[in-house]
Amino acid sequence: MLEGRPIWALGAMSGTSLDGVDAAMVLTDGEAIHAFGETGYRAYSDNEAGVLRAALGRWPGEPGVEEAARMIERCHAELLGTLDGAELIGFHGQTLVHAPGAGGTHQAGDGHRLATTLGIAVAWDFRSADVALGGEGAPLAPFYHFALAKFIGERAPMAFLNLGGVGNLTWIDPFHVLPEAEGALLAFDTGPANAPINDLMWQRRHALCDDGGGLADTGQVDEGVVTRFLEDAYFYRVPPKSLDRAGFRGLLGAVADLPDADAAATLTACAGAAVARGLEHCPTPPARLLVCGGGRKNAALMREIAVRSGCATDPVEVVGLDGDMLEAQAFAYLAVRVARGLPTSCPGTTGVAANVGGGLISRPD
């Protein structure tokens, strides 16, 4: 479709933290990153976030799902319509259910309707083909992380960690030329990250998050809860592997009797311990851990990861990247790979049997 030329693509992401929509422009040919462009953000109102929360865990046709899908499309259109110059849009939608071993994966939002609204071609439905071929369908950012490692000039094996509602890790050996090469990538979800902390704050204080980790910093960690958390079978599974946002729904119950600050500190420690356990699965210890996503702004969480893993842990800003926009950028990059028919996942990233080029392209009516 694109004959290998770089184009400006516009990616969007609405993650499991349910805070809003990120959008970012990337100039790419689907292989190398040539430049970064404008970015934007549209926060969800309390009412909009409530609509999404009510639809979590539901499949197409169930109550509340169509309302959530239309709202997601409207919010995306409002934001994406403010950024000019894109030839292609990458639209992830909103994950409501992710259960690759028990029914599939469901990202609400219709790319064709969005393409018609905006008058621009849209790449979307990135996960279904991977799941249909036996993959986890997640995480999907690793191919972009590989390109970023090349862009910033990494020479030794390193890792990117995204701390959204769920944490996901990409281990990269930049020696390889292609991301789908055997041994180039290993990617998987580490465990819950912001989601249980955010849910705790919403339930107890009607706040969206523990801003900066301030509440956790005043509490004491219940290490017994952390130890029992790490006994879950998920942590013994060999990656690639992935989680639904609700995969550890019992974690809030484990801290139900703790005061607010101790509960926040304990959930934060669980998220950090999950990352540390995940790093044990890497082929070699990464030289550094570069962190993106909202969790990198939680000083208590960053400290837990560094102390429990013993790995140098920094926000991606230390290498000049935008940690708020990496996932949106990833879907801009993946959109171009979809348009060019290039792989978007491989055995090392999702456990799929062979390299897979997922996604659909919808053009405006």
Q: Write out the chain's pLDDT in tens, 365 residues.
A: 567 799 999 999 998 778 899 999 999 999 999 999 999 999 999 999 999 999 999 999 999 999 999 999 999 999 999 999 999 999 999 999 988 877 689 999 999 999 999 999 999 999 999 999 999 898 899 999 999 999 999 999 999 999 988 999 999 999 999 999 999 999 999 999 999 999 999 999 999 899 999 999 999 999 999 999 999 999 999 999 988 877 898 999 999 999 999 999 999 999 999 999 999 999 999 999 999 999 999 999 999 999 999 999 999 999 999 999 999 999 999 999 999 999 999 999 999 999 999 899 999 98
Residue-level pLDDT at 2? 61
**Strands, sheet with 185-192, edge to edge from the N-terminal-most edge strand:** 185-192, 166-172, 158-163, 289-292, 313-315
pLDDT in the model for residue 246:
77
Please, what is the Cα angle at 220 between 219 and 226, to 5 degrees?
A: 120
15 vs 169: CA distance, rounded Å: 16
Where do runs of H (alpha helix) occur along the chain? 46-55, 65-80, 111-118, 128-132, 142-151, 194-205, 214-217, 223-229, 251-254, 260-279, 299-309, 326-340, 347-350
pLDDT for residue 167: 94
Q: CA 38 to CA 8: how far, in whole Å? A: 10
Q: In sequence order, which residues have a C-beta less than 8 Å from that of residue 238 and are 6 or more positions away?
A: 281
> Helices in 152-291 by DSSP H: which ranges?
194-205, 214-217, 223-229, 251-254, 260-279
Q: What is the dihedral of CA 151, 43, 201, 313, to 10 degrees?
A: 10
Task: Read off the amino acid at residue 326.
Answer: L
CB-based burial label for 232 (10 Å; 0-12, 13-18, 19+): middle
User: How many CA atoms within 13 Å lie on the side-chain side of 362?
Assistant: 19
Secondary structure percentages of the chain, helix, strand, coil, to 5: 40, 20, 40
From residue 185, alpha-carbon distances to 130, 180, 302, 359 in Å are: 16, 7, 23, 20
Q: Interhelix angle for 194-205 vs 260-279, to 10°?
A: 170
pLDDT of res. 119: 98
Domains of the chain with bracketed CATH: 7-136+325-362 (3.30.420.40), 153-319 (3.30.420.40)
pLDDT of residue 245: 79
- Kindly calculate the radius of gyration of the chain based on its CA atoms and give it in whole angstroms: 19
Residue environment code for 313-337, b if the CB has 16+ CB neighbours within 10 A, otherwise e: bebbeeeebebbbbbbbbbbbbbbb
Closest by CA position to 96, among listed 120, 117, 74, 127:
127
- Residue 344: the pLDDT is 97
The token duo for 298 is: 């939680």
3-state class (DSSP) for residue 67: helix
Q: Is 183 left (phi over 0), alpha (psi -120 to 50) or beta?
A: left
